[in-house]
A and B are shown apart, each in its own frame.
Chain A
Amino acid sequence: MNTRKTLTLELTGIIGAALVAILLGIIIIYIVSEEPLTAIQSLLLGPISSAFNIGTVLNKAVPLIFTGLALAIVFQAGVFSMGAEGQLYMGAFVGALAALYIPGLPVWVHLPIIFLAAICAGAIFGAIPGFLKAYLNTDEIVTTLMLNFIAILSTSYFVNNIFKDPASGGYARMQYIASDLRLGRIVEGFTAHYGIIIALATVIVIYLLLYKTKFGYELRMVGQNSRFAHYGGISTKKIIILSVVISGGLAALAGIIEILGVHGTFKDYFSINLGFDGIIIALLARNHPFGVAVAALFYAYLQVGAQLMQGASDVPRELAVIIQVILVLLVSSQAIFTFLRQKYLLRQGR
Chain B
Amino acid sequence: MTVLLEMKDIHKVYPNGTKANQGVDLTVHEGEIHALVGENGAGKSTLMKILFGLETPTSGEIRYKGQPVTFQGPRDAIKQGIGMVHQHFMLVPSLTVSENILLGDELRKGFFSLFRDRKRELTEVDQLIQRYTLKVDPQAKVEMISVGQKQRVEILKVLYRGARLIILDEPTAVLTPQETDELFHSMKELVKENYTVIFITHKLREVMEISDRATILRAGKTIETVQTKNSSQEEISKLMVGRNVLFRVEKEEAKPKEPVLKVNHLTVPDDKGLEAIRNVSFQIRAGEIFGFAGVEGNGQTELIEAITGLRKIKSGQIEYLGQDLTEKTVAQIRAMKIGHIPEDRQTTGACLTSTISENLILDCCRAKEYRRGPFLEQKKIKGFSQQMIKDFDIRVQNEDALAGSLSGGNLQKVIIARELSKNPKLLIASQPTRGVDIGAIEFIHREIIKKRDEGTAVLLVSAELSEVINLSDRIGVLYNGEIVAILDNSTPLSEEEIGSYMLGIKRQEQEAVAE
Contact = CB atoms under 8 A, between A and B. Distances in A.
Interface of A: 1-4, 6, 208, 212-215, 217-218, 220-221, 224-225, 227-235
5 contacts: A208-B375, A212-B376, A231-B330, A232-B362, A233-B309
B331 interface: yes
A2 B401 contact: yes
B347 A3 contact: no
A225 B310 contact: no
Contacts of A228: 347-351, 362
A214 B371 CA distance: 8
Given A3-B402, A214-B365, A224 B354 contact: yes
B279 interface: no
Contacts of A234: 331
Contacts of A3: 355, 400-402
A213 B361 CA distance: 12
A233 B333 contact: yes
Contacts of A233: 309, 329-335, 362-363
Nearest to A228: B351
Nearest to B371: A214
A234 B310 CA distance: 11
Contacts of A221: 351, 354, 358, 362
B366 interface: yes
B353 interface: yes
B353 A212 contact: no
Given A225-B351, A230-B330, A217 B376 contact: yes
B376 A231 contact: no
Given A2-B401, A2-B402, A235-B331, A217 B340 contact: no
A190 to B, nearest CB: 36
A6 B353 CA distance: 11
Contacts of B402: 1-3, 6
The 8 A-B residue pairs whose C-beta atoms are closest, nearest first, are: A233-B331, A233-B330, A232-B362, A225-B351, A233-B334, A2-B400, A228-B351, A3-B400
Interface string B324-344: 000001111111000010100
Contacts of B351: 221, 224-225, 228-229
B398 interface: yes
A227 to B, nearest CB: 5
Contacts of A229: 351
B372 to A, nearest CB: 10
A231 B348 contact: yes
A1 B401 CA distance: 6
A220 B354 CA distance: 9
Contacts of B331: 233-235
B374 interface: yes
Interface residues of B, number: 38
B230 interface: no
B494 interface: no
Residue among A4, A217, A220 with max Cβ neighbours from chain B (10 Å): A217
Given A231-B310, A233-B334, 9 more contacts: A2-B355, A2-B402, A208-B375, A217-B365, A224-B353, A228-B348, A230-B310, A232-B362, A233-B362
Interface string B356-371: 0010011101100001
B174 interface: no
B378 interface: yes
Contacts, number: 83
Contacts of B366: 214
Contacts of B350: 225, 228
Contacts of A212: 375-376, 378
Interface in B269-317: 308-310
Contacts of A218: 365
Contacts of A220: 354, 358
Contact of B398 (A2, A213, A231): A2
A232 B347 contact: no
A227 B348 contact: yes
A137 to B, nearest CB: 15
B178 interface: no
Interface in B51-103: none
B161 to A, nearest CB: 33
B397 interface: yes
B352 interface: yes
B405 interface: yes
B273 to A, nearest CB: 18
Given A231-B342, A232-B362, A233-B330, A225 B400 contact: no
A233 B335 CA distance: 9
Contacts of B352: 225
B356 to A, nearest CB: 9
A219 to B, nearest CB: 12
A347 to B, nearest CB: 17
Contacts of A232: 330, 334, 362-363
Contacts of B376: 212-214, 217
A233 B328 CA distance: 11
Contacts of B378: 212
Contacts of A4: 400
A3 B357 CA distance: 11
Contacts of B310: 230-231
Given A220-B354, A221-B358, A231 B375 contact: no
A323 to B, nearest CB: 30
Contacts of B401: 1-3
Nearest to A4: B400
A217 B361 contact: yes
A235 B366 CA distance: 13
B397 A2 contact: yes
Contacts of B330: 230-233
Contacts of A230: 310, 330
Contacts of A208: 375
B290 to A, nearest CB: 22
A78 to B, nearest CB: 11
A227 B305 CA distance: 12
A215 B335 CA distance: 17
A213 B340 contact: no
Nearest to B342: A231
A205 to B, nearest CB: 11
A229 B351 CA distance: 8
A234 B363 CA distance: 10
Contacts of B354: 220-221, 224-225
B347 A217 contact: no
A228 B414 CA distance: 14
Contacts of B397: 2
Nearest to A218: B365
B365 A235 contact: no
Given A3-B355, A235-B329, A227 B347 contact: yes
Given A2-B400, A217-B361, A225 B347 contact: yes
Residue among A218, A229, A232, A235 with max Cβ neighbours from chain B (10 Å): A232
